[in-house]
Structure 1
Amino acid sequence: MSTTPDPISNPADPWLDEFSRPGMGEGLTSTEKRRPGRPKGKLGAVLTDLTDRVTLEDFSFVRALLNGIEPAKAFKQYYAYRYFDNEGHGVVPHGLSLHAHGRQLMRVIMKSALASGDDLIKMMAQRLAAVDLVAAASGKPKAEPPERRVPSMNEWMESHHIDPDFYAEMELTQLYSDFLDEYRAEHGIEAKPGDINKREVQEAVQAQIQALNLLQNRLTSSPMPEQPVITWLERRLAQALEELGVLTMRDLIDFISQTGRNWRNKIKGLGPVRAERLADWLESNHATLGSIIREGDRWKPRQPLRSGLVPLGEYADGTKPLLLIEEEGTGVMVVADQKGPKLRQGIAPLELMLVPPHLDGTVGLFRSSGLNQYGARNDLQVIRIWLKSYLSAGKLATFDAYRREIERFYLWCLNEAVIPLSSVSLSHAQAYQAFLKAIPAKYITTERVTRDDPLWRPFRGQLDAKSQRYAIGVISHFFSDAVMNGYLTGNPFTLVKAEAVLSRDMDNSRSLNKEDLRWLRQALDDHLASTPPAPDTGFDLEGALRRRLNLIFHIGLSTGLRRSEITSSTVSSLAPASYNGIPTEDEWMLEVIGKGKKIRTIPIGEALRQMILAHHEDVRRMLHEVGDSAAARLAEFEKRPPLICALRAPVGHKSALVDDDAAMANDNLALGDNGLYKVVKSFFVGATKPVITQLERRRQTIEQQKKVVEQKMRSPVTEQKIAELVQERSRIQRELAVWVRRKDMTTHWMRHTFAMSVLRDNPNDAGLTMAQQLLGHASIATTQIYLKSDDTAKIRAIRNLKPFG
């Protein structure tokens, strides 16, 4: 009678030892202490920790370990749906020992196999636990004396630039075994009894794969529709769903489908990254749960919101009613002749702040004793005057950014520190810096509301280190101006040191290469060619939209203009170019006002100019189609014709065409910044999504075919088929990466492409200077960033290095 221990009740040590060998695990061991608090950048969990069942991801992790993949890399790949950081990237949880995780998986597999009562399952579990050649199959042979050591599989792959994803498991082992035979023969090394034997390795790998595949098919747990959400989802998330009446996994699918694109806003404590991970995990289990239905009005973007407020509380009739007066004999401040939304205390935007008299700064601790250049009597007046200076100068972007930061700080002064702004000291400044690192939930909202809405909040989420640094800089600038203009005696933020943040060069890979440009040209040609026939009567809106899209790409790639420059330029700024001092009719110069109100001129070819004029004819036909109700729009358009025009009224307007009543970004029908971005982005997404979907389905089909083949008896035919499927899967993944990159393209990619083209065609210093002028860079150092090569040249340079000759 055999005395071999039962691997079901006492799993064999050789398999488990693989997780405790040096270099096989990452994470903390049981002897290391866990640091208090959540690691930086770590988000809360989405799914519950399953300790009594094994999932498809668990088997994938075990298979990766047996194939010699680094545990941490395998964990991040297969458990990214469960453990991820604030950017959605997979992480190893703080305090988790991958050694222990592997051993726990084996125990659960063994327990499940024993509970199944199936003799075949038990036999497969025994085979998996008893195999003693796992180390050999994973490229980690037993140690040899230093003088007779042969390279491990990992060392061989690194030295020969072997891509493990390119080969099937059996093919990779075969290549490594052949290498060892040649290596020993060349160096006169005799194989020892303990060395890797090709036949034994093949048999061991085959046994492991057969065991894993069968166990995976029989023991894998998948979410089912009738299971409670607490079975699969993290406790707090499950409780939040149960409060909404979502009790089962089927309820969750129905809830998301019926709620629409903003479903996560209904679930307490669920941010965008965790929501995306949850939705992706549900979709990955559509075979058992069904798919999320993303159709209907609730999944369409909502109409643009329009606030009843105007900057700094000035109303359309020019009045400034937001003044506080004292009721006679009462000492109570009230609003005098207020129109529009009501002023309020607490969390409110600057336009609606009702500041208590004892906090208005009239007698602030650090107020100057004399008069001030602002002519202000309190803190809120200083803030408004300071912001109005940027608004009056036409610096709208600066105004919006500065208003956001000083508004947040003033709300903190009134509601958290409970002091006037003019009483802020260094300790208060440091307290606000700490506040920005962990903003309370009551100041944050993800609701899409206008500034006058009671649900408005100053923050849309926690700030990263770069945003915190910017906020402190803006507030310090405000205090410096207040000191310089005689309102305050000092700047408390002078000694506040901002935390250092990572600095990264411009990503030059975000430009279109030659293949991208060939694809884009063909896609635009196909887009124009697929335009439906123009209607016999009426304006051809569909054709005009497609011609405008073609024009946008030609302008972006031919001029390198920023998005804001495209939307703000007009045709009236076009003038004939001078070539060798002689005006020419074939080239034109466009005068552009760029950053900092700096003027530069950009060449425009005659063909591009004709495309612009043809686009303007489309605009005129549209306005004439509308008739008298668009007369004012037509007059403004003819007065200042923009480069790119809006051709459709906003969502919710009484008609698709633009009339005088349509709320447009610009009176002259210039397409706004957001509109231009959406047009380009929609094209990239629409042109790539069908291909991406097809490739994703093809990849899934190959995965299923591979699983079916792996379950069959091993033979040269099946091995060849698996190798072909793996090779095809790798090819699809590479192609998929190309299309996903194209889907992510935006308007700024065209500017990068233009810059790279100019520098490539003009490689000398004169070309660099010309690129600086065309791009409108204040410093040539910014232009030089485009000269930095991408990873291709760096890889080639490293490949050519021979450090040892």
Structure 2
Amino acid sequence: MKKKNEAPRKLHSGHFAFMRALVQGLDENASWNRYLHLEGEYTDLRTVRRTIASIRDQFAAAARRENKPGTARLILMDAERFKAAPALPSLAEFAAANGLEEFSEEEQLEAYQDAYPSGKRGAGQGGGEGEGQGANKRSQRPSRRARVVERQLEALRWLQGLVAQDPKPSDSVSAWLNPSMAKRLERAGLTTLSVLVERINGVGARWWALVPGVGEGKAARMVEWLQANEALLGLKVGRHVAQPRMKLASATLEAVVPAATAIRPYEKFVLPAELDGRAGRFRARPENCLLAAGNDHEAIGAWLSSKAAGAKGNPSATQRAYRKEAERLLLWAVLERKKALSSLTLEDATAYRDFLADPPAAWCGPRHHQRWSPLWRPLEGPLHGVTLRHSLTVVRSLFAFLMRQGYLMGNPFVAVALPVQPLRPLGSSRTLTFAQWDHIDALLEKYGETEADRRLRRGMRWLYATGLRLAEITSVKCEDLTPVEYRADGTMATDWLLAVIGKGNRSREVPVPAKLVEELGDELARHGFDRQVGAVSNRGVHVMSRFDDELKRPAPWSASGLYQGIKAFLAQAAGGLDAADASQLKKASTHWLRHSHGSHALQGREGRAPVPLQIVQNNLGHASVGTTSLYLTTERDERLKAMRGFWKVPPLPE
């Protein structure tokens, strides 16, 4: 029974094809799998019976709406209740059964017609043409069951022309899909067919993993149905959905979203000719410009190229961060302000600041959607405080560069007031306590033993032990590790130094405990590589590699993949903790492990001496020791103690 406020199911050609098959007595299992497998497995007989009953009820309701009560009753009628006409013997079989073999065929036929006055002779009968035609005429009247079947088929043809519908992008999923499946999709925010297709294309083969209650089999049936109705929907499920993302070529992913003048990443954003900046209001004289850039898009490209280059042509962390801010501004200028970037005024710059503080929902989306995905958006949500200040500072830097190169005459963002820079200890609200880290480390010790489990454990422990940034830990390779023997506590010890190229293209060496390097060696050996991490054959293998048996050389774990994996683990680790600790772990991310490294190392703990400030500064890659000292609370306490004397505060009682 349909519940109140529940969207009515719509009838499509598959429903009618299935019912025609049933009416004609075809195999129900095969017919279900051919026409209605989207509804669920045929082995779930309750679903099959419920679906058949629902289809019949809808057919009958449609007939009643057309003032055809007789047709409604006919649709609900089960033709099986009427017995089919019995199969009659052939003339030869009749003659043999009745001892008439020696009689003439004319005499046999006369006896046959006396026995079956209205029957139709079986195959292989002889006799004159006229006599045969007479017998056939008497036997042409179909059985009652056959007449019911024929009338039902006629009714179905009439109904199909009347009520069968084609799916539309705006239709709710509950209008076309199995009710229980539709409810699960709706709970995951997939309310319409267009939203469903966008999610499938945006995530790829495992789109269903984030929809509780929908497994791979149900997901495959949905995709098959959507693909079968692509022409009607005008929505196409991309080819990339058919394969796991790790097996897809980069060109396949890049082709998912075409370049356009719409919300697109910088590399796919097409500037309209009238807003490309060639005739920008504040363009400087071309003969004085030091850039070969002809438009605003190319000018941004020149600015990004001036930053530190990433390995093998990939953008560096700095370039990615700056690109994000530049593309936001470029998209906003063209799509929202309807201006070229090189025509922006102070009023435009102020409006952009307000836009970042309150962007439309269409501009926002989760950060884990990659740039190839149609779900990618330039913002996660409103920017405030530090993040807004950073964004405007980067944009100000872009315009300053374009002015220095003679591309622009002015910088409208110079006069825009920046949010006040808050004074707070570095990582003060984004640091794990010792107890929280001990809880996490204990869970890691008992974590699973799949390759993905071990990789996650490796990532978290390396981040905490070294204090590296996310982009740094995902870029280092086996050849960046060097063993070092040294004297510690009167004996010789061996640990490792990791060569890192960090922020500002500055290089440093970070200590790594031997235990972590030994575990990496075990993982290498497990997948057929040399156990000695520094072996020549291991050159090019990333410390954070995804060891896939199908690949000759393991691919590096992406920064976003590591980030998402650790976020998911920390959210899971929050279970069973008190509300305050659970809240902290749910908010924590990879950068919290870096902050925790700095804070824990400087504080020291029972049985472990504090690490000197300059060593922690090197580990974290801070240009100034003053930045690292913000992790310390001791310096703050000493200042307060000194001021108590100035304030003439009485000493505290012992």
Normalised by the size of structure 2, how large is the TM-score? Answer: 0.53
Q: Report the counterpart of residue 295 of structure 1 in structure 2.
A: 213
2:401 equivalent to 1:485? no
Q: Is the CA contact 2:368–2:564 (under 8 Å) kept in the aligned structure 1?
A: no
Q: Report the counterpart of residue 274 of structure 2 in structure 1.
A: 358
CA distance in 1, matches of 2:485, 2:367: 54
Q: CA deviation at 1:684?
A: 3.9
Q: Is the CA contact 2:308–2:504 (under 8 Å) kept in the aligned structure 1?
A: no
The 1:419–1:622 alpha-carbon spacing in structure 2 relative to 1, beyond 3 Å, is: same
The 1:525–1:502 alpha-carbon spacing in structure 2 relative to 1, beyond 3 Å, is: closer
Letter in 2 for 1:430: T
2:289 equivalent to 1:372? yes
Q: Report the counterpart of residue 575 of structure 1 in structure 2.
A: 482
Paired residues for 1:764-779 under 5 Å: 767-779=612-624
Q: Report the counterpart of residue 599 of structure 1 in structure 2.
A: 507
Letter in 2 for 1:589: L
Q: Is the CA contact 1:306–1:450 (under 8 Å) kept in the aligned structure 2?
A: no
How big is each residue's C-alpha offset from its partner over 1:78-103, in whole Å with a ceiling of 9 and x where there is no partner? xxxxxxxxxxxxxxxxxxxxxxxxxx
Q: Report the counterpart of residue 780 of structure 1 in structure 2.
A: 625
The 1:638–1:466 alpha-carbon spacing in structure 2 relative to 1, beyond 3 Å, is: same
How big is each residue's C-alpha offset from its partner over 1:592-632, in whole Å with a ceiling of 9 and x where there is no partner? 22222222223334443322211211232799xxxxxxxxx
Q: Report the counterpart of residue 677 of structure 1 in structure 2.
A: 563
Q: Mark the runs of 5 or more structure 1 residues left unpaired by the alignment.
A: 1-241, 269-292, 317-338, 532-541, 624-634, 649-656, 661-666, 693-734
Q: Report the counterpart of residue 210 of structure 1 in structure 2.
A: none
The 1:549–1:416 alpha-carbon spacing in structure 2 relative to 1, beyond 3 Å, is: closer
> Secondary structure at the residue paired with 2:408?
coil
Letter in 1 for 2:184: S
> Secondary structure at the residue paired with 1:390?
coil
**Correspondence for 1:436 among 336, 350, 356:** 356
**Correspondence for 2:466 among 533, 553, 559:** 559
> Secondary structure at the residue paired with 1:614?
helix
Q: Is the CA contact 2:478–2:538 (under 8 Å) kept in the aligned structure 1?
A: no
Q: CA deviation at 1:753?
A: 3.8
CA distance in 2, matches of 1:744, 1:449: 19
2:302 equivalent to 1:385? yes
CA distance in 2, matches of 1:772, 1:802: 37
Q: CA deviation at 1:388?
A: 3.2
Paired residues for 1:387-466 under 5 Å: 387-390=304-307, 392=309, 396-441=316-361, 443-444=363-364, 458-466=378-386
Query: Over aligned residue pairs, what C-alpha RMSD do you find?
Result: 5.2
Letter in 1 for 2:486: Y
Q: Is the CA contact 1:483–1:489 (under 8 Å) kept in the aligned structure 2?
A: yes
> Secondary structure at the residue paired with 1:374?
coil
CA distance in 2, matches of 1:402, 1:341: 22
The 1:492–1:640 alpha-carbon spacing in structure 2 relative to 1, beyond 3 Å, is: same
Q: CA deviation at 1:477?
A: 1.6
CA distance in 2, matches of 1:518, 1:442: 41
Q: Report the counterpart of residue 145 of structure 1 in structure 2.
A: none
The 1:371–1:643 alpha-carbon spacing in structure 2 relative to 1, beyond 3 Å, is: same
The 1:425–1:295 alpha-carbon spacing in structure 2 relative to 1, beyond 3 Å, is: same
- Percent identical pairs in the alignment equals 27
Q: Is the CA contact 1:548–1:615 (under 8 Å) kept in the aligned structure 2?
A: no
**Correspondence for 2:527 among 619, 623, 633:** 619
Q: Is the CA contact 2:173–2:191 (under 8 Å) kept in the aligned structure 1?
A: no
Q: Is the CA contact 2:475–2:542 (under 8 Å) kept in the aligned structure 1?
A: yes
Q: Is the CA contact 1:571–1:640 (under 8 Å) kept in the aligned structure 2?
A: yes
The 1:658–1:415 alpha-carbon spacing in structure 2 relative to 1, beyond 3 Å, is: same
Letter in 2 for 1:771: V
CA distance in 1, matches of 2:395, 2:429: 35
Q: Which moves more between the two structures, 754-763 or 419-428?
A: 754-763
CA distance in 1, matches of 2:525, 2:328: 47
> Secondary structure at the residue paired with 2:498?
strand
CA distance in 2, matches of 1:514, 1:416: 48
CA distance in 1, matches of 2:476, 2:554: 11
> Secondary structure at the residue paired with 2:512?
strand
CA distance in 2, matches of 1:744, 1:411: 30
CA distance in 2, matches of 1:492, 1:607: 54
The 1:513–1:443 alpha-carbon spacing in structure 2 relative to 1, beyond 3 Å, is: closer
The 1:765–1:645 alpha-carbon spacing in structure 2 relative to 1, beyond 3 Å, is: closer
Q: Report the counterpart of residue 659 of structure 1 in structure 2.
A: 551
CA distance in 1, matches of 2:635, 2:214: 43
How big is each residue's C-alpha offset from its partner over 1:306-355, in whole Å with a ceiling of 9 and x where there is no partner? 99998xxxx99xxxxxxxxxxxxxxxxxxxxxx99765445444434443
Q: Report the counterpart of residue 322 of structure 1 in structure 2.
A: none
Q: Report the counterpart of residue 100 of structure 1 in structure 2.
A: none
Q: Is the CA contact 1:588–1:603 (under 8 Å) kept in the aligned structure 2?
A: yes
Q: CA deviation at 1:374?
A: 0.7
Paired residues for 1:142-161 under 5 Å: none
Paired residues for 1:17-416 under 5 Å: 257-263=184-190, 294-297=212-215, 343-369=259-285, 370-390=287-307, 392=309, 396-416=316-336
Q: Is the CA contact 1:305–1:449 (under 8 Å) kept in the aligned structure 2?
A: no
Q: Is the CA contact 1:588–1:605 (under 8 Å) kept in the aligned structure 2?
A: yes
CA distance in 2, matches of 1:743, 1:793: 33
CA distance in 1, matches of 2:245, 2:604: 43
Letter in 1 for 2:413: F
CA distance in 1, matches of 2:456, 2:269: 44
> Secondary structure at the residue paired with 1:575?
strand
Letter in 2 for 1:463: L
Paired residues for 1:516-527 under 5 Å: 516=436, 518-520=438-440, 522-527=442-447
Q: CA deviation at 1:253?
A: 10
How big is each residue's C-alpha offset from its partner over 1:80-132, in whole Å with a ceiling of 9 and x where there is no partner? xxxxxxxxxxxxxxxxxxxxxxxxxxxxxxxxxxxxxxxxxxxxxxxxxxxxx
Letter in 2 for 1:379: D
> Secondary structure at the residue paired with 2:416?
coil
Q: CA deviation at 1:686?
A: 4.0
How big is each residue's C-alpha offset from its partner over 1:361-388, in whole Å with a ceiling of 9 and x where there is no partner? 3333322222311123333322232233
Letter in 2 for 1:366: F
> Secondary structure at the residue paired with 2:381?
coil
**Correspondence for 1:646 among 546, 550, 553:** 546
Q: CA deviation at 1:546?
A: 5.0
CA distance in 2, matches of 1:243, 1:738: 44
CA distance in 1, matches of 2:459, 2:498: 15
Q: CA deviation at 1:243?
A: 9.7
CA distance in 2, matches of 1:553, 1:447: 20
Q: Is the CA contact 2:602–2:610 (under 8 Å) kept in the aligned structure 1?
A: no
**Correspondence for 2:601 among 740, 743, 758:** 758
Letter in 2 for 1:351: E
| Number of residue equivalences | 427
CA distance in 1, matches of 2:374, 2:495: 55
Q: CA deviation at 1:580?
A: 6.4
2:418 equivalent to 1:498? yes
The 1:501–1:561 alpha-carbon spacing in structure 2 relative to 1, beyond 3 Å, is: closer
Letter in 1 for 2:384: D
Q: Is the CA contact 2:277–2:340 (under 8 Å) kept in the aligned structure 1?
A: yes
The 1:688–1:670 alpha-carbon spacing in structure 2 relative to 1, beyond 3 Å, is: same
Q: Is the CA contact 1:379–1:422 (under 8 Å) kept in the aligned structure 2?
A: yes
Q: CA deviation at 1:485?
A: 0.8
How big is each residue's C-alpha offset from its partner over 1:237-292, in whole Å with a ceiling of 9 and x where there is no partner? xxxxx996999xxx999965343534589999xxxxxxxxxxxxxxxxxxxxxxxx
How big is each residue's C-alpha offset from its partner over 1:740-785, in whole Å with a ceiling of 9 and x where there is no partner? 5456554444434433343234999982222212332211122212
The 1:773–1:244 alpha-carbon spacing in structure 2 relative to 1, beyond 3 Å, is: same
Letter in 2 for 1:360: D
Q: Report the counterpart of residue 227 of structure 2 in structure 1.
A: none
The 1:417–1:612 alpha-carbon spacing in structure 2 relative to 1, beyond 3 Å, is: closer
CA distance in 1, matches of 2:610, 2:297: 51
